[in-house]
């Protein structure tokens, strides 16, 4: 029985390279047409859709011969910059059949580096959605190299989902979901609770044929988003009608159930890994307090053992245990210079208030 209303009113849909690329590297126009038809139908129902699509490098492979005498980075830049034109033109033509306008947005990880850039991107996406335009997003592979690269587009789409307060995030892969292999047989895991721990130990990681992503990466992204209050689906994008079925509430693929929604700043902080300006090491007492599930605790100077790097008020800092394990990330309420003389002292203002603190999943 169909639902009267779509499951989500705002969603980010990530389409992997292997979903829309044939074995020979050519774009699979039949699959692309099916997915855009479903997205257009959702748009007609009032769903705000942001599409994050891989496939530029794969499309580039089908257009030009493999470049010779170039470094791997340069090869990727050539393939992605040529293939991206074909990819976005294909989406533009397919959505135009439904009277829909698309917008191309290419980003790098550094675009999420501070609150101002973050807010500027959010304003852009919001304006496009308000006008009924479908943003088609991809990593800017032509300039994204080494430290500028996302792990893959799963990470990018997760950042956008949290930034835009999406209700649902759908990751379309070339497999049906996550499988429990613990008893020697493949059993599809239909739901995962946000409190689940170490579930990745019984999931067989898979490697993409053309893309960079893998199922283990998808698990980590999905778990992080679910803890921020976003429902995540991992499903097979080549299954006919997959998006329609998900939005009708069918139990297809694997669904990560959401926890209580986090507020905007905490979502930004949760996705700031690698963008921190400094780090603090805390003692065992502070670590236990921060990891407590019974009450919310802020990071106080009394629990700090040492500081690494230089940071100012409003910067993101990394919080580590005494053995070097990363506990989480937070927004500093004052500078490293001001913090140094307060280390170990009681009755001081928090360096990181709970409202601006993100604890990594165990």
Question: Which residues lie across from 187 on neighbouring strands?
Answer: 180
- Whole-angstrom distance, CA of residue 269 vs CA of residue 317: 9
Dist CA 228 CA 165 (whole Å): 9
Q: Rounded to an integer, what distance in angstroms lies between the CA atom of residue 302 and that of residue 339?
A: 11
Question: Residues comprising the binding site for ATP?
Answer: 14
In a 3-state reduction of DSSP, which class is residue 178? strand
Q: How far apart are CA 84 and CA 20, in angstroms?
A: 14
Output the six-digit token pair for 181.
Answer: 């292999």
C-alpha of 86 from chain center: 24
Helix (H) or strand (E) holding 174: none
**Number of alpha carbons in the 13 Å side-chain half-sphere of residue 187:** 9
Distance from C-alpha of 193 to C-alpha of 120, rounded to nearest angstrom: 33
Which residue in 247, 40, 50, 53 sits closest to 129, CA to CA?
50
Which residues have CB under 8 Å from 150's CB, separation 6+? 109, 139, 144, 156, 159
Q: Which residue has the tokens 């496009």?
A: 128
Binding-site residue set? 14, 54, 141, 153
Residue 249, both tokens: 């509430």
Unique residue bearing structure tokens 């139908």: 41
Q: What is the largest CA-CA distance in the chain?
A: 66
Nearest CA to 176 among 210, 220, 218?
218
* Backbone region of residue 343 per phi and psi (left: phi > 0; alpha: psi in -120 to 50; beta: other values): beta
Tokens of 225: 């988003």
The secondary structure of residue 313, as a DSSP letter, is T
3-state secondary structure of 151: coil
Q: List residues forming the annotated binding site for substrate.
A: 54, 141, 153
């Amino acid at each position: 029985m169909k639902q009267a209303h779509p499951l989500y009113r705002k969603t980010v849909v990530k389409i992997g390279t292997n979903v829309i690329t044939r074995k020979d590297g050519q774009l699979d126009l039949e699959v692309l047409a099916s997915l855009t038809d479903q997205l257009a139908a959702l748009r007609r129902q009032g769903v705000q859709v942001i599409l994050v699509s891989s496939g530029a490098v794969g499309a580039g492979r089908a257009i030009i011969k493999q470049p010779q005498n170039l470094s791997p980075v340069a090869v990727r830049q050539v393939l992605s910059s040529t293939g991206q034109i074909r990819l976005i033109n294909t989406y533009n033509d397919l959505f135009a059949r439904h009277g829909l306008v698309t917008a191309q947005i290419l980003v790098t990880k550094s675009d999420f580096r501070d609150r101002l850039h973050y807010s500027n991107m959010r304003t852009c996406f919001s304006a496009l959605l308000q006008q009924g335009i479908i943003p088609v997003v991809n990593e800017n592979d032509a300039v994204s190299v080494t430290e500028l690269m996302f792990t893959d587009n799963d990470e990018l789409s997760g950042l956008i989902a949290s930034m835009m307060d999406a209700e649902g995030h759908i990751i379309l892969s070339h497999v049906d979901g996550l499988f429990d292999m613990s008893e020697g047989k493949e059993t599809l895991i239909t739901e995962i609770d946000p409190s689940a721990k170490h579930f990745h130990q019984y999931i067989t990681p898979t490697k993409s044929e053309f893309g960079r992503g893998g199922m283990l990466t998808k698990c980590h992204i999905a778990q992080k988003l679910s803890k921020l209050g976003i429902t995540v689906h991992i499903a097979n994008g080549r299954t006919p009608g997959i998006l329609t079925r998900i939005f009708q509430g069918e139990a297809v693929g694997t669904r990560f159930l959401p926890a209580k929604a986090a507020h905007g700043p905490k979502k930004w902080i949760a996705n700031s890994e690698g963008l921190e300006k400094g780090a603090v090491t805390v003692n065992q007492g502070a670590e236990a307090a921060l990891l407590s599930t019974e009450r919310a605790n802020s990071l106080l100077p009394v629990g700090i053992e040492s500081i690494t790097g230089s940071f100012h008020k409003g910067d993101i800092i990394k919080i580590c245990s005494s053995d070097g394990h990363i506990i989480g990330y937070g927004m500093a309420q004052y500078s490293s210079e001001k913090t140094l003389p307060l280390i170990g002292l009681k009755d001081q203002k928090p360096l990181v208030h709970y409202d601006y603190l993100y604890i990594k999943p165990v």
